[in-house]
Structure 1
């Protein structure tokens, strides 16, 4: 069963809808695993493998927890293929919570999806495609597991465009922990809360894109692309055509005005201009 709630129609020209490469998956929380830090990381939800899953790690049953999935160019999503729960084994599936209802949204539209309580993959056709670069998968209701952890898990949400998976098995083997870089991957925003003018995307393939989009039409914008590396402590950036620059990256959690958690990334470097060296938030 699929219930689609259309808030505003977003129509992009067909020429603008590139087959965007997968960019990142960023979660509001993940279940900690002492011996394997990447065991329940958000990238597991897009690799198309039953042996891996994302499990949220917030207090409660997981309702309201989310994963933001980003692409490196605009895409049109007309189908998702969902494998519910922790599907690596029947025991793990029954022990952990599964998702009963989730929402899939972009900035302007939202679909509500009701799932079955099964380990088998479920194909969900979207009545109206979602278009853009950034999509949010959010847990709305759960099937309660038999274990004590009370963690809700999703094994896979594969995004499909015109019958072609844009995430899934093609990414298997490419989505390791990245030496802690998974904590930085995602879209970051700088400027007034709710009205940012600067955007920084850090992708799983170790590339980045920075954009300055001023509200003043008389002021020129800016775009910088390049590479980044992060070993869990030291951040290095290489804007296209320039040398590598060492920077510090401080990541911390804080609360926003609406009471929901947000992450704050502060990048500082002597040889990096103010475009990139500033304070960033993972929420607009």
Structure 2
């Protein structure tokens, strides 16, 4: 039986486990269930042995798909079929920890956009929350809609700000009603002998399929959306009046897009940025509730 890396009794001072060290470290705010899942994911055999092979395979495959798409841009384009493959693959080959991180990301991201929309006076921006509860929800173009929602939110928000001559500013009494203190234990993920892929291995495996079955515009937009982490973090910092958490964002400078070949790694950083920002909002909600401050809901 594999040892529990989070048991301090298993600590060997001559061979310390780096993931135990990072799990115990509280310098970066992050949900405990998320942190445990991520550190276990990093310590998995899949991350050690399969990931290097899948990274190599993914880059080579993406190159040939890029060439194929250049000559036949409309060949294989089917978002519906892509998401059927993704749902099937997630259910049968991805580990419970990795699935938890993937599913939770949509919930966290939706709540962050709702927080921004709910804390800007004079602006009404509708959001389209994506909160999947099972693998069937993935089939409804979940990943594509996540990217579309992000860009549409930025476009609609800034259009409203410009038309109404409003700026995002510090909010004294925050509305945190949409932020949930969720440990995400309400979804049970498959844990069969085939469910072995860690998060980054799964992303490396699925990225070529994403490239193959989406249009070039959809795929490039999905890759570029990861750098909007900085944009969303700036919005939140303007509302909170505390820019310190911007230092936790690694996907920056959306006006200078990165290569799509680094999309898998950047996607993991994107997930981490969302988790840390969400946990900051959770802590603010806890502090305000403990201080007896009521959170006004916007109409």
Instruction: Return the TM-score normalized by structure 1.
Output: 0.26
* Structure showing greater relative contact order (alpha-carbon pairs closer than 8 Å, 6 or more residues apart): 2
Structure with a larger share of its residues in strand: 1
| The structure with more helix, counted as a fraction of residues | 2
Larger-Rg structure: 2
Query: How high is the TM-score relative to the length of structure 2?
Result: 0.25
